[in-house]
Amino acid sequence: MKAHDGLYIDGAWRPAEGQDVIEVVNPADEQVIGRVPAGTALDVDTAVRAARAALPAWAATPPAERAARLAALRDVLAARKDEIAETVTAELGAPPQFAQTVHAGVPIAVAGTYAELAATHSFEEKVGNSTVLHEPIGVVGAITPWNYPLHQIVAKVAPALAAGCTLVLKPAEDTPLTAQLFAEAVHEAGVPAGVFNLVTGLGTVAGQALAEHPGVDLVSFTGSTAVGRQIGAVAGAAVKRVALELGGKSANVILPSADLAKAVNVGVANVMSNSGQTCSAWTRMLVHSDQYDEAVELATAAAAKYGERIGPVVSAKHQARVRGYIEKGISEGARLVVGGPESPREKGWFVSPTVFADVTPEITIAQEEIFGPVLTILRYEDEEDALRIANGTVYGLAGAVWAGDEAEAVAFARRMDTGQVDINGGRFNPLAPFGGYKQSGVGRELGAHGLTEYLQTKSLQF
Active centre residues (catalytic): 245, 279
Quick check: 286 and 390 in contact, CB under 8 A? yes
- How many other C-beta atoms lie within 10 A of the C-beta of residue 106? 17
Tell me the three-class secondary structure of 297-321, residue by residue: HHHHHHHHCCCCCCCCCCCHHHHHH
Number of H helices, E strands in the chain: 16, 20
Beta bridge partners of 37: 21
The phi, psi pair for 457, rounded to 5°, reads: -105, 145
Pick from 201, 198, 126, 128: which is nearest to 156 by CA? 198
Sheet architecture: strand order including 196-198? 12-14, 7-9, 196-198, 166-170, 139-143, 218-222, 241-245, 441-442
Q: How far apart are CA 431 and CA 424, in angstroms?
A: 19
Q: Which residues 6+ apart lie within 8 Å of 20 measured at CB?
A: 37, 38, 40
Pick from 424, 425, 418: which is nearest to 249 by CA? 418
CA angle (109, 309, 295) in 5-degree steps: 95
Quick check: 412 and 406 in contact, CB under 8 A? no
Beta bridge partners of 141: 168, 219
Task: Give the CA distances from residue 446 to residues 113, 155, 434, in Å, rounded to whole numbers and listed in that order.
Answer: 9, 6, 6
